[in-house]
Amino acid sequence: MMDKIAIEKKVLSENDKLAGSLRERLTAHRILCLNLVSSPGSGKTSLLEKTIAALNSEFRIALIAGDVQTENDARRLKRAGGKVVFPIVTGGRCHLDARMVTSITDQLSLDDLDILLVENVGNLVCPSSYDLGEDMKVVLISTTEGDDKPLKYPGMFLRSSVMVINKIDLLGSSDFDMATVKQNARSINGQLIMFELSCRTGAGLAPWNQWLGEQAKRKRSR
């Protein structure tokens, strides 16, 4: 057990060093980087499709689509208008790490970017421990999941800056309660910024896009 703990600490320490270097590079180029995390099926890819459609004309956006298998999400993002899209297929690993993201950013012309959006592997456990050099983690949940999600995965909600609640068009079709999920999330992290939206109907997307654009402009002006 002691060997396992020591190895894990070493892995995370090396990842954090690499993530710190990556963050410095992105900050030097005034690029906003968001790390999107969720359980499978919450709607990360759908949100990114809508986001790039809304912001592509104003901002230069690069996307990294991580998945355990297939490049399906990356292909979807390209069809949605993504101009710079890189897939990362982990081959079974349950998260992206700073080395993987760095290998992609080394291929990018950072002077030509405003925003880097990273779609992490669908998992609310492993990705919480891995810094990718992002400015913020954005955790997505959906109304088709339990409203106790924050209590089940406190590490992810504690380390996130933003919570997006997707599929509000399906409210009422299950026992999911909006007030309860917000209360549960705030009990873990009282600083969470929250958005309610539906990628399918478009409801609530405007405030999310406006917020993201403002964050990019703020980073660009530094």
| pLDDT for residue 7 | 46
| pLDDT for residue 161 | 98
| pLDDT for residue 2 | 46
Per-residue pLDDT of the chain (222 residues; tens, 9 = 90+): 445 455 456 778 999 999 999 999 999 999 999 999 999 999 999 999 999 999 999 999 999 999 999 999 999 999 999 999 999 999 989 999 999 999 999 999 999 999 999 999 999 999 999 999 999 999 999 999 999 999 999 999 999 999 999 999 999 999 999 999 999 999 999 999 999 999 999 999 999 999 999 999 999 998
| pLDDT for residue 6 | 53
Q: How far is the C-alpha of 64 from the C-alpha of 73, rounded, in Å?
A: 10
Domain boundaries, the chain: 2-220
Q: What is the signed CA dihedral for 30, 113, 137, 134, rounded to 10 degrees?
A: -60
The structure's pTM equals 0.93
CB neighbour list of residue 219: distance below 8 Å, 6 or more residues apart: 27, 30, 31, 32, 114, 135
- Three-state DSSP at 201 gives coil
| pLDDT for residue 1 | 46
DSSP characters for 34-76?
Answer: EEEEESTTSSHHHHHHHHHHHHTTTS-EEEEEEESS-SHHHHH
CATH says 2-220 is which class?
alpha beta
| pLDDT for residue 92 | 86
Contact status, residue 48 vs residue 119, Cβ threshold 8 Å: yes
